[in-house]
Every structure is written in structure tokens, then in C-alpha cells.
A = this chain, B = another copy of it.
Amino acid sequence: MTQTGLYLIGDIPGFTPQIGRLVSMMNYARSTTLQAVAGLGVAELDYLHDPQSNSIGTLLAHIAAAEVGYQAATFDARDLNADERQQWDAAIGLGERAREEIRGYELDHYVGRLEQVRAQTLTQLGRRDDQWLAEETSFRSGQRVNNYFKWFHVIGHEINHRGQILWLRSRANIKP
């Protein structure tokens, strides 16, 4: 955790002021996620605490999947397409299907996907500005929501599951 500026929320070169602040928060949240899983092996990544639990690996895939969903929603104003659904549905849905399909992978696999997805997010955010960040749409309920909220929600979603990962990690004391 020695990245310069990781504890500063403010301007970041290549981004408009508000987007820079948002990216500062994304960077920090991601650093804590990676710290939470550092050094885990396959057995720990696959650990199921009880029959309704998600594994740490699945939660990492779920964090990436949510980001892909919000990319489509905010950058392209669309839902995931068929190819994307095939790739991400298990991670999005969690539960039984995820327990069956998302296992046996090394940490690098999950981190690689997180990084790939994040690189795309940063490229797209770098092409947009604060006016875009403030743009509003409506939920079906009629409630107004802006792009800043949606991307803050992606961060909160990651942190929420990081809290669960930390809890699970402290119980997944798997002896080799």
C-alpha cells in the first residue's frame, strides 16, 4: 500500500475534476479489495462457509461483473448483450450456479478479470466529463438517478462484498 496519492481524493491527470475524485475513490476501494485477498490459494478462494455461502472467488467475479453491467448501462445505455451474459451471468447471479461454475481458479484469474474490466472503465471515464457524470435518468419507480450515483454505487458494491470477503477469509483457515 505505497501507491502515491492513494489517500488523497482530488484531481487526477486525464480526468475532469469530479471524475478524478470518483476515480480516486475507485482506486482506493480496489486497493483494499486486493489487499483483502492477497496470498489466497485456490482452496481458500473456493471455501464455502455453509450451503448458502458464496466463495471469495465468486465474490471477486461478482465485483467485476457488476462493473461490466454498469459500463453497459452508463456508457452505452443498454443491458448486457448475449455474449456478455454468457460470460458474466453466473457471477452476477451468485448462488447455486456460481458455486458450481466459479471454482478451481487461481487468484490471478480473478485479479486479471478485475483489472481488465477496470481498464475499460478508466478508458471510458477519461473520455467523459463532469456534465456527463451529473446526467440523470429515472428508475422505473420514477426516482431520479445520475451517473455519479451509479458509479459510486459500483464502489459501494465492491466494498460491501469486500467486507464479506474479509469475514470469510478469517474463517477459511485451510491447511495445505
Contacts and interface: CB of A to CB of B under 8 A. Distances in A.
User: How many copies make up the complex?
Assistant: 2
Interface of A: 2, 5-10, 18, 21, 24-25, 28-29, 32, 50, 52, 134, 136, 139, 143-146, 148-149, 152-153, 155-156, 159-164, 166-167, 170-171
A46 to B, nearest CB: 18
Nearest to A158: B159
B143 A7 contact: yes
A139 B8 CA distance: 12
Given A7-B149, A146-B8, A152-B25, A166 B171 contact: no
A146 B7 contact: yes
Contacts of A159: 156, 159-160, 163
Nearest to A134: B10
Contacts of A10: 134, 146, 148
